[in-house]
Chain A
Amino acid sequence: MSEPILSARDVVVKFSLRGQILTAIRGASLDLYEGKTLAIVGESGSGKSVFTKTFLGMLDANGWVDSGSIMFEGMDLAKLKTEREWLKIRGKKIAMIFQDPMTALNPLRTVGMQIQEVLELHQGLKGEEAKARTIEILGQVGISDPAMRYHQYPHEFSGGMRQRVVIAIAVACNPRILICDEPTTALDVTIQAQILELIRGLQKKLGLTIIYITHDLGVVANVADDVAVMYAGDIIEYGTAEEIFYNAQHPYTWALLSSLPQLGIKGQPLYSIRGTPPNLFNEIKGDAFAPRNPRALKIDFVKRPPYFQVSPTHYARTWLLDPRAPKVEPPATIKAMRAKYARDAI
């Protein structure tokens, strides 16, 4: 396997909140490969957004990277401190798009100016040249009559169109990595597919590496090469999309997949994960998911599991993979998935 273009190791992110320290990311690691699409999945508050924000230095003012490294182009992003250093990365090398396109654009400036701003900032284009390039990019993201649209304001665009504009802003400078923070959550289903298709097309054309942050496993199945599952500020399982869907190892991944309506078994109530995620103000002992895991082992409450390798591309942080662990049966849905996978493989 080739060198990763971005490699995060044991990243710890802390926030100071009302005098208390909250550990939002607890030593998460991640490798990102050129041209691939990685999806980070997990429930709300699991730290998906916060983790990727550290790649851009966009944590809120009360948060900081406490330890760990994020290697990108020979630089350790975790060590960058000043805004000036970040400005060389943000928007230029690593770009990000956000969930709600309705509010992501400045309502008082024309759409064209908002894209052009990036070009002027990072590529030094000016005047007519910048304008021509902006119109070209607008066309590229599928906006018809871009020369006219250039002069319009965001309120004259629909939600899907605005997300196209946001994408145009993000890709205007040919970044190497594009982080999409739930890019389709706020859009209706028909538009969702179009936006995913657009991102896929741009990825091919521009050779982008993409990180999707989502809790929609449907989107994951649709777009991802690799999947990272996050729980309570940690990546607990990492593998190719196929490995995660058909050969999941971590009990949390099992639980997540079992609660998918599409995988549910007819006539049986839909599975839901009991309990609530751990309080990140407290120190978490052992496996963070253990208190909600009906199959938890004794050691899960005592010692944090290391990553066990399942295949060269597949890792999971669960004691179940330790050779000494007792045999634990996965839930029925997971067994069905595995069986289907085994059948297809033959």
Chain B
Amino acid sequence: MKVKLREVHSVFAWTWHIPKESQDAHAETIDDNDGDDVCGICRASYNATCPGCKFPGDGCPLVVGECNHNFHVHCIYRWLDTATSRGLCPMCRQTFQLKKGLAINDSQISKFQELRNKQWQTRQQEFGDQQDPETNPLEDQDDPMMDQGLIVR
């Protein structure tokens, strides 16, 4: 018997590959209607986009934290880029760090490192401001105890 193919409709699906040990961390969080795992910040599926993006995939990737909590990179970056986040994971309140040795994180490492440096500098500036009599006239600048405290910190 000969079969003649007239047309082929290819259908495919994709999903982010999340390393096994990082998958169950979200078991308690709310699933969206499709039962997919969702980003703890925007509540959209990992395979969908963050609220700021239109196209899923490489344009709106995931990152995996050292604490095994995963987020859209845009969501967690926006959070970590606030002073009030104090660099902490929204789910578990540990310092959020990208898990090492994962392909999914590799392209983001420098970006997150820059953010950490930026915040460190901001803190340094605040630190410097305290010593500046013009910006903080109420502080007693000659207080030796204060100076000691600053050095210890």
- A and B co-occur in one complex: no
